């Protein structure tokens, strides 16, 4: 990663800016200004996993302290504890779709803004519908998949709206994204966090948004990676985060409670967790020194 002119904000000559500098004043270049090597990407991945883990522990303590009635049968608990074809299928498509929906339009280039807007408008509707629709009982895998994919009908009218904006208000929308990049950036991060509140609750409650703090922080990190290094890196990071959380939990939960397999999986997960913490702290130090 090569930082040149960390405080530069001229969209005509985009420069790669460190995370803390960027968050103070987000801007959207037409093309990502940075190049990311795999070793550096692993550092960002470990940093995001560390931040999400710490935030998850913090929100868990809040839930215990304030006696928030987090349901034992929440979607998050079912995803992490019970392997199923529904979860695997969703895991194969959801990270890419969510990156298209929440971060593809974080740009000043119309070729990214308007396709991204179609996905964003669709996801905004799906978030509102999900949060306002109570979940009762345990749903079968077929029902989960059906409900998940049937909701995508909304992308048809959302795409039509985006096409109309591209046809009749292309310049105005592009200028809006350039002038109000900060508002667009943080709106994307907040909505991404709110979209995951339903993982913790079976109906809308205000503290569900608090429990989604880990997803909000992940959204901030993914948005920075998308703007600075390109959409492919935010998609790759999203897949890596989801796979590491779900597959790690499945391996641990599926092993017999006693025996060498359980001990081996626990040792392996502990070693991986140690590496994540160490490299995450190294990345955090580089972020604090404005090197990343």
Q: Give the percent of the chain with pLDDT over 70.
A: 89
Q: What angle do CA 125, 83, 219 make, to 5 degrees?
A: 40
What's the rounded Cα separation, in Å, for the pair 205 and 68? 10
Averaged over 242-255, what is the pLDDT?
Answer: 83
Please give the full DSSP string across 80-104, using - where no structure is assigned: HH---HHHHHHHHHHHHHHHHHHTT
The DSSP letter of residue 72 is T
Q: How do residues 34-82 score in pLDDT, each as one tens digit?
A: 899 999 999 999 999 999 999 999 999 999 999 999 887 777 777 777 7
What's the rounded Cα separation, in Å, for the pair 114 and 245? 32
What's residue 230's pLDDT? 95
Q: Is 2 helix (H, G, I), strand (E, B) or coil?
A: coil
Query: Is 194 a residue whose pLDDT tops 50?
Result: yes
Q: Which range in 1-5, 9-13, 71-75, 197-201 is most confidently predicted, on average pLDDT?
A: 197-201
Query: Is 2 a residue whose pLDDT tops 60?
Result: no
Do 196 and 215 form a contact (C-beta atoms < 8 A)?
yes
What's the rounded Cα separation, in Å, for the pair 200 and 177? 32
The DSSP letter of residue 31 is S
Q: Which helix (H) or strand (E) holds 257?
A: none
Write down the domain spans for the chain. 19-288
Structure tokens at 224: 């920075």
The DSSP letter of residue 218 is H
At residue 12 the predicted structure's pLDDT band, cuts being 50, 70 and 90, is very low
Between 202 and 10, the more confident residue is 202
Q: How many beta carbons lie within 10 A of that of residue 115, not counting itself?
A: 17
Averaged over 208-214, what is the pLDDT?
Answer: 95
Among 36-50, 57-71, 116-130, 207-221, the range scoring the smallest mean pLDDT is 116-130
Give every CB contact of residue 211 below 8 A, 6+ residues apart in sequence. Answer: 59, 62, 63, 68, 70, 197, 200, 201
What's the rounded Cα separation, in Å, for the pair 143 and 123? 20
At residue 266 the predicted structure's pLDDT band, cuts being 50, 70 and 90, is confident
Query: Is 147 a residue whose pLDDT tops 80?
Result: no
Q: Which range in 10-14, 51-55, 71-75, 135-139 is most confidently predicted, on average pLDDT?
A: 51-55
At residue 140 the predicted structure's pLDDT band, cuts being 50, 70 and 90, is low
Query: Is 137 a residue whose pLDDT tops 50?
Result: yes
Which phi and psi angles does 29 have, rounded to 5°? -75, 160
Averaged over 168-179, what is the pLDDT?
Answer: 96
What's the rounded Cα separation, in Å, for the pair 110 and 101? 15
Q: Helices (H) and strands (E) in the chain — how many of each?
A: 13, 0
Do 17 and 8 form a contact (C-beta atoms < 8 A)?
yes
pTM of the predicted structure, to 2 decimals: 0.89
Query: Is 165 a residue whose pLDDT tops 90?
Result: yes
Q: What is the mean pLDDT of the chain?
A: 87
What's residue 260's pLDDT? 81
């Amino acid at each position: 990663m090569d930082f040149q002119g960390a405080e530069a904000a001229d969209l005509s000559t985009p420069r790669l800016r460190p995370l803390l500098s960027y968050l103070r004043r987000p801007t959207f270049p037409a093309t990502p200004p940075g190049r990311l090597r795999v070793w550096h990407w692993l550092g960002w991945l470990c940093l995001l996993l560390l931040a999400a883990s710490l935030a998850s522990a913090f929100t868990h303590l809040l839930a215990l302290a304030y006696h928030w009635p987090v349901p034992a049968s929440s979607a998050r608990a079912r995803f992490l504890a019970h392997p199923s074809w529904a979860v695997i299928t969703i895991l194969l498509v959801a990270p890419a779709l969510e990156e298209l929906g929440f971060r593809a339009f974080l740009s000043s280039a119309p070729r990214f803004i308007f396709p991204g807007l179609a996905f964003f408008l669709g996801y905004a509707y799906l978030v509102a519908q999900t949060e306002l629709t109570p979940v009762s009982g345990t749903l079968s895998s077929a029902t989960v998949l059906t409900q998940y994919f049937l909701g995508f009908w909304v992308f048809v009218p959302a795409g039509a709206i985006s096409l109309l904006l591209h046809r009749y208000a292309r310049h105005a929308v592009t200028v809006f994204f350039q002038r109000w990049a900060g508002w667009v950036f943080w709106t994307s991060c907040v909505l991404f966090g709110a979209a995951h509140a339903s993982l913790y609750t079976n109906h809308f409650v205000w503290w569900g948004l608090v429990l989604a703090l880990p997803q909000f922080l992940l959204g901030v990190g993914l948005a920075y990676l998308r703007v600075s290094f390109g959409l492919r890196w935010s998609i790759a990071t999203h897949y890596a985060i989801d796979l590491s959380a779900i597959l790690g939990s499945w391996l641990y939960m599926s092993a017999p409670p006693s025996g060498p397999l359980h001990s081996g999986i626990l040792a392996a997960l502990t070693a991986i967790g140690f590496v994540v913490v160490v490299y995450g702290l190294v990345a955090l130090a580089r972020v604090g020194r404005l090197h990343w």
